[in-house]
Amino acid sequence: MALTETVEKKGLSLILFSGDLDKAMAAFTIACAAAGRGYPVYIFFTFWGISLLRKERGRGKGVLEKMFKLLLPVGPEKTGLSKLNFCGIGGALMRLLIRKRGTQSLQELIEMAMERKVNFIACQASMKILGLRRSELISYDLLTEGNAETFLEKAEASKVQLFI
Amino acid sequence: MALTETVEKKGLSLILFSGDLDKAMAAFTIACAAAGRGYPVYIFFTFWGISLLRKERGRGKGVLEKMFKLLLPVGPEKTGLSKLNFCGIGGALMRLLIRKRGTQSLQELIEMAMERKVNFIACQASMKILGLRRSELISYDLLTEGNAETFLEKAEASKVQLFI
Amino acid sequence: MALTETVEKKGLSLILFSGDLDKAMAAFTIACAAAGRGYPVYIFFTFWGISLLRKERGRGKGVLEKMFKLLLPVGPEKTGLSKLNFCGIGGALMRLLIRKRGTQSLQELIEMAMERKVNFIACQASMKILGLRRSELISYDLLTEGNAETFLEKAEASKVQLFI
């Protein structure tokens, strides 16, 4: 019987399905901490999570797409809470509380993730369904496009996997 | 010191707690990709996720159960979005967008998962609480009943575990 | 090439982000089953999840904090469902169904987790943002405070990691 050599693979593969302020903050807090510990970190932005990568509203093709693109938030400053949002009031309150406490905002956490070389992967199927083009997403060297296969490849090599 | 032999266990164990169209699509997309890579795949349908396995509405015993069974969707064609659902309009729009884009519908993803021999496990505690009987769920050879113990057994042997 | 010795680490590290009745029940059911199998179990209570650890409402400092603390539930008996909650009616119905079926309530599951020595970790950043003090949380020997680093340390040593 051959003994396999095991390389202790750390690493975090995180699917960010939610685009909510609170969940995105949790995701980026964990991602930044993991990158700080020297893990390779991969965030897969899918469905609502992709809204965090949008830098501009962009034009939709057709009525349906236009509607969805209007309803979907653009960037981390426009997202609401997953609970107690009350049409945006909860999100605004949370942002005020965060500023008051001196804790990091979502925008700051995303920038820290970029400084720490966290890999961003935008889900191609979600981009297709929501009608988002690459040019509508933020510029970042480590932002690539991928699919479920890409996630599984990275997940296999990661110690920790989360769906947020 | 004895060296342990490590068998590289791939495999995906996924708890599908949500019955929402968008989250279920994410879950089945990953499950199908994993099965395509030759992973053994286990989906544990719990709470709202069980609604995806219902083939008929069934009769509730008592008023409470009747209410819950009426409110709980029946099958993948009736589920809404986790966000922007607007009483079903969001779900309908999403279904239209998916058809227009030529991407796979949830129903097609579930069928693909079955073709790829993904194991379905219905959570017994959830069935008990919601008053669902086995006969009200879809027919599928690889559909069994289980509990948290069953999940942990499969999770121990899987590389990737997700709660969706 | 040196062969590394691998110790089969079981263990469950669970981030409980949600404070919803249904999700918390799923989390504690898995945690209790894992502890019953002899896993070391760690639950990280973050954001809304922290409301489950509150024993009293406590006073907020300033208007914003007062508002949030009023809106945030206190303890497991006050949480609602993630779906079909209808301002608390869904949660009340679910509690009635659970009692009727003779299945365990969330309160009972939490007590069982404590008996089985599940480790509770309250997220310091969330406590800071929500203005919660240690004295407002339940008394439990195995309740400590921690951050994302603490989670990653435990996650590295755990076979199963979930974000709920």
| The pLDDT value given to residue C27 | 98
Residue among A3, A21, A81, A129 with most chain B CBs within 10 A, to mutate? A129
Give CA–CA dist C107/C118, Å, rounded: 15
The predicted pLDDT at position C39 comes to 96
What does the pLDDT look like over A57-75, one tens digit per residue? 777 777 777 877 777 888 8
pLDDT at A1 over 70: no
In this structure, which amino acid lies at residue B95?
R
Q: Which residues contact A58 (CB under 8 A, 6 or more apart)?
A: A69, A132, A133, A135, A136
pLDDT score of A6 more than 70: no
SS3 category, C99: helix
From the centroid of its chain, how far is CA B158?
17
Q: Which of A128, A149, A163 sits opposite B163 (nearest CB)?
A: A163
Note the pTM of the prediction, 2 decimals. Answer: 0.90
Q: Which residue has the tokens 């263990």?
A: C11
Report in angstroms the alpha-carbon separations of C128 from A93, A101, A102, B122, C29: 14, 7, 10, 39, 28
Through-space distance between the first and last CA atoms of chain B, rounded to whole angstroms? 40
Is pLDDT of B88 > 70?
Answer: yes
Q: What's the CA gap between C36 and C117, in Å, rounded?
A: 10
Count of CB contacts below 8 A, B vs C? 75
Helix (H, G, I), strand (E, B) or coil at A100: helix
Say how many C-beta atoms besides its own lie within 10 A of residue B121's C-beta.
Answer: 22
Query: Which of A65-74, A81-90, B69-78, B111-120 reaches the highest mean pLDDT?
Result: B111-120
The Cα–Cα gap between C103 and C110 comes to 14
Q: What gap in Å lies between CA B88 and CA A128, rounded to an integer?
A: 22
Residue from C100, C105, C109 to probe the interface with B (highest B Cβ count within 10 Å): C100
Contact B64 C33 (CB under 8 A): no
The reply to whether residue A163 touches residue B160, judged by beta carbons under 8 angstroms, is no
Band (C6; pLDDT cuts 50, 70, 90): very low
Determine how many CB atoms are found less than 10 A away from the CB of residue B34: 28
**Residues belonging to chain C with any Cβ–Cβ distance to chain B shorter than 8 Å:** 3, 5-8, 10, 12, 22-23, 26, 29-30, 32-34, 37, 39, 82-84, 93-94, 96-98, 100-101, 103, 159-164
A7-40, pLDDT tens digit by residue?
456 899 999 999 999 999 999 999 999 999 999 9
Mutate which: A3, A18, A101, A163, vs C, most C CBs within 10 A: A101
- The predicted model gives A94-119 an average pLDDT of 90
pLDDT digits (tens, 9 = 90+) for C84-94: 776 777 788 78
Least Cα distance to B121 among B158, B100, B96, B147 occurs for B147
Looking at the DSSP bridge assignments, the partners of residue C121 are C44, C144
CA dihedral B37, B43, B49, B55 (to 10 degrees): 90
d(CA A28, CA A104): 11
- B160 and A162 in contact by Cβ < 8 A? no
Chain B hits for C96, CB-CB cut-off 8 Å, are: 64
Angle in degrees, 0-180, between the axes of helices A89-101 and A21-36, rounded to the nearest 10: 40
Q: Does residue A137 have a pLDDT over 60?
A: yes
Query: What are the φ and ψ backbone dihedral angles of C158, each rounded to 5 degrees?
Result: -110, 145
Chain B hits for A4, CB-CB cut-off 8 Å, are 5-8
pLDDT for B143: 97
pLDDT digits (tens, 9 = 90+) for B8-22: 569 999 999 999 999
Compute the Cα dihedral for A94, C146, C82, C112 and give only its sign.
negative
Return the number of other C-beta atoms located less than 10 Å from residue C118's C-beta: 23
Q: Mutate which of B20, B101, B118 to test chain A, going by most A C-beta atoms within 10 A?
A: B101
Subunit contact C152:A23, Cβ cutoff 8 A: no
As a three-state string, the secondary structure of chain B is: CCCCCCCCCCCEEEEECCCCHHHHHHHHHHHHHHHHCCCCEEEEECHHHHHHHECCCCCCCHHHHHHHHHHCCCCCCCCCCCCCCHHHHHHHHHHHHHHHHCCCCHHHHHHHHHHCCCEEEEEHHHHHHHCCCHHHECCCCCEEEECHHHHHHHHHCCCEEEEC
Cross-chain Cβ contact A5/C1 below 8 Å: yes
Residues B86 and B77: their CA atoms lie apart, in Å, by 16
Mean pLDDT of A76-82: 85
Tokens of A61: 């093709």
Tokens representing C158?
């755990």
Which is more confident, C96 or A12? A12
Nearest CA in chain C to A91: C68
> Which residues in chain C touch residue B2, judged by CB atoms under 8 angstroms apart?
5
Out of C129, C149, C151, whose CB is closest to A103? Answer: C129
B8–A3 CB contact, under 8 Å: no
pLDDT number for residue B46 = 96
Contact list in A for residue B160 (CB cut-off 8 A) is 152, 155-156, 161
A-chain residues near C131 (CB < 8 A): 97
Q: Say whether A119 sits in a helix, a strand or coil.
A: strand
Task: Inspect the interface and report whether the beta carbons of A5 and C6 lie closer than 8 Å.
Answer: no
Tokens of A163: 């769906």
Gyration radius of chain A's alpha carbons: 17
Over residues C44-70, the mean pLDDT reads 84
Q: Which residues of B touch A64 (CB under 8 A)?
A: 93, 96-97, 100
Q: What would the mean pLDDT of C130-143 be, rounded to a whole number?
A: 93
Q: In what order do the strands lie in the sheet containing B12-16?
A: B143-146, B119-123, B41-45, B12-16, B160-163
